[in-house]
Amino acid sequence: MKLSKAEEELMNILWSQKKAFMKDILENYEEPKPATTTIATLLKRMQEKKVVGYTAFGRSREYYPLIEKEDYFANHVNGLIKNFFNNSASQFASFFAKETNLSKEELKELRAIIDDELKNK
């Protein structure tokens, strides 16, 4: 599933808030805040994509994410690996290590993560 940049921004608000009414969502946007109708349209599209749900309280709705942030991110990264790195995680890791200007300390942390994963396999 692919979300637009605007949908991802809204999902980040929902992930941080856990549950939110429209007014709560709008409060989390920086100026200039989007129109309520814009947010309503995004929420409707995201419900159709099955990434957002809501609970009705009279005429109000409390929205909440149906997917975890980590799951969305993992899906997104796996799509990048498949589409841009010939489905090769090692090509992706090589690119990531070389092109992201990681510090020596960050590279050591990455090595420790990989070593831990090797132990667990």
| Distances in whole angstroms, Cα of residue 118 to Cα of each of 75, 79, 121 | 22, 23, 5
User: Each residue of 16-38: pLDDT tens digit?
Assistant: 999 999 999 999 999 999 999 99
Q: What is the pLDDT of residue 49?
A: 95
Q: What is the pLDDT of residue 99?
A: 86
Q: What is the pLDDT of residue 51?
A: 96
Q: What is the pLDDT of residue 41?
A: 97
**Positions of the chain with pLDDT under 70:** none
Topology, domain 5-65: Arc Repressor Mutant, subunit A (1.10.10)
Q: What is the pLDDT of residue 26?
A: 96
Q: What is the pLDDT of residue 3?
A: 92
Q: Is 59 exposed, middle or buried (0-12, 13-18, 19+ CB in 10 A)?
A: exposed
Domain ranges of the chain: 5-65, 88-121
Q: What is the pLDDT of residue 93?
A: 86
Q: What is the pLDDT of residue 66?
A: 97
The predicted model scores a pTM of 0.78
Q: What is the pLDDT of residue 4?
A: 94
Which residues lie across from 21 on neighbouring strands?
A: 62
Q: What is the pLDDT of residue 98?
A: 85
**C-alpha–C-alpha distance, residues 37 and 55, integer Å:** 19
